[in-house]
Amino acid sequence: MTDVFADLVGQDEAVVTLRRAAASAAALLRAAAPVAAGGAGRTGGDDALDALAEETDGPAPAGPEGVDPGAGMTHAWIFTGPPGSGRSVAARAFAAALQCVHGTGCGRCPGCHTTLAGTHADVRLVVPEGLSIGVGEMRALVLRAASTPSGGRWQVVVIEDADRLTEAAGNALLKAIEEPPPRTVFLLCAPSTHPDDISVTIRSRCRVVPLRQPPAGAVAEVLVLRDGIAPDVAEWAAAAAQGHVGRARRLARDPEARQRRDAVLAVPRRLTGVGAAFDAASALIEAAEAEAAASVAEMDETEKTALQTALGAGGTGRGAAGAMRGAAGQLKDLEKRQKSRATRAQRDALDRALVDLAGFYRDALTMALRAPVAPVHTDTAALAGAGAQKWDAEGALRRLEAVLECRAAIEANVKPRIAVEAMMLALWRG
Ligand SMILES: [Zn+2]
């Protein structure tokens, strides 16, 4: 129960696929290893590794685990699923299983440990901080990924939010996936395989591991068993987080996260007029900005201090003036990156708020329809019930659509304040 796949909540099918692939990968390495003690040298294992590169999507051939090298393993994978379903958890767990000295993802060996801790020399993790992953970053990554794995197993590249690749970065990645070095494995994470998220050509070179939204019961169980959270709190948080494991954990543990959620869910009853609608829009935007600022402030300061130290700020020796001129450019680059990260954090915070709000109107809709489903927000169920009576199903649906349109508009780069104001007015008018 404590192997590397233990954190993958409610994803039994995906875990079966990944375990089989890890076993096949281990078998490939055994086949490729020079035979010890007077053997006939290489056994053609590299051919098996090359064959890996030719394999594209398709059902894994049947057969006992690890017996047929190559079965179930391929060099490029896409993990898809809704936010919080565990795309990056799955990718990291699989990376650990590939680096596991037992080839299983035991969770105890140095290979597993260092991969999960983010310190394995042959595992590169790309977590976009800004709104996109640029071509420069991708080229550098692809170049390094082509080197021989120092640990003798695999070079693994994990790309979180692969849907944020710029077109040029996607092309650089595609080139590497099309002609992969024999020991390199690419693990991409994206919301879906829709062409908006991942290019068709990259998709065609990868095997897809679909993850589903874990059921609230499974999320609650993990919070109780792994995080020691009280069962009633765990159940409430799992339902409120709508299957998002990380969000459920935060709601259960962080009073500030709970307060922010309460403020968002107070919006529907505060919409009493045009002025109130604009006030509610401002409050929502400012809360997202404050949340984002708090989350990046410490990181920003640490990075800036580190860079200044590295650049020898305050130096007075010969060449110090020239060094400072170069330093100004580097500081500017850093500030640009930090600004991009702050924008992303704001969008994420605002999106979380909108998802909570959508949950409220969804509850009103299901109540108006008398649908036999549990509410998302048990603590505002009475308020949603009152809304259901007042608005009917059509009115609740229009409001739900207004929230979803706001999310879509922000995704399409409409200025968040304008999108949120339009939404609040639509919610007020009904
Ligand atoms: Zn291990």
Predicted local confidence at residue 181, as pLDDT = 87
Task: State the Cα angle at 283 between 365 and 399, rounded to 5°.
Answer: 20
Q: How far is the centre of ligand 1, averaged over its atoms, from the C-alpha of 191 (Å)?
A: 28
How does DSSP classify residue 413? T
Query: Which residues hold their Cβ within 5 A of ligand 1, which is an ion?
Result: 100, 106, 109, 112
Q: How far is the centre of ligand 1, averaged over its atoms, from the C-alpha of 285 (Å)?
A: 45
Q: How far is the centre of ligand 1, averaged over its atoms, from the C-alpha of 392 (Å)?
A: 55
Q: How far is the centre of ligand 1, averaged over its atoms, from the C-alpha of 7 (Å)?
A: 15
Q: How far is the centre of ligand 1, averaged over its atoms, from the C-alpha of 112 (Å)?
A: 4
Total residues found in the chain within this entry = 430
Q: Pick the closest to residue 397 from 361, 360, 350 (CA basis).
A: 361
Q: How far is the centre of ligand 1, averaged over its atoms, from the C-alpha of 407 (Å)?
A: 41
Predicted local confidence at residue 313, as pLDDT = 56
Q: How far is the centre of ligand 1, averaged over its atoms, from the C-alpha of 98 (Å)?
A: 9
State the Cα–Cα distance between residues 66 and 27, nearest whole angstrom.
5
Q: How far is the centre of ligand 1, averaged over its atoms, from the C-alpha of 22 (Å)?
A: 11
Q: Answer whether 271's CB lies under 8 Å from 424's CB.
A: yes
Question: For the whole model, what pTM was predicted?
Answer: 0.71
| pLDDT by 10s per residue, the chain, length 430 | 579 998 888 899 999 999 999 999 999 998 887 654 443 444 444 555 655 654 444 444 444 444 454 568 999 999 999 877 889 999 999 999 999 999 999 999 999 999 999 899 999 988 877 777 888 888 988 888 888 898 889 999 999 989 888 889 999 999 999 988 889 999 999 988 998 889 999 999 999 999 988 888 999 998 999 899 999 999 999 999 888 888 899 899 989 889 999 999 999 999 999 999 999 999 999 989 888 887 787 778 877 887 777 776 555 555 656 666 667 777 888 888 788 778 888 888 899 899 999 999 999 999 999 999 989 898 899 999 999 999 999 999 999 999 999 999 998 889 999 999 999 999 999 8
Predicted local confidence at residue 320, as pLDDT = 58
Signed CA dihedral, 80, 81, 84, 90: sign only: negative
Predicted local confidence at residue 45, as pLDDT = 47
State the Cα–Cα distance between residues 175 and 179, nearest whole angstrom.
6
Looking only at the bridges linking them, the beta strands covering 155-159 and 123-126 are parallel
Q: How far is the centre of ligand 1, averaged over its atoms, from the C-alpha of 46 (Å)?
A: 24
Q: How far is the centre of ligand 1, averaged over its atoms, from the C-alpha of 97 (Å)?
A: 6
Q: How far is the centre of ligand 1, averaged over its atoms, from the C-alpha of 108 (Å)?
A: 5
Count CA within 13 A, CB hemisphere, residue 404: 10
Burial of 316 (0-12, 13-18, 19+ CB in 10 A): exposed
Q: How far is the centre of ligand 1, averaged over its atoms, from the C-alpha of 90 (Å)?
A: 15
What b-and-e string marks burial along 90-106, b requiring 16 or more CB atoms within 10 Å of the CB? bbbbbbbbbbbeebbbb
Q: How far is the centre of ligand 1, averaged over its atoms, from the C-alpha of 326 (Å)?
A: 45
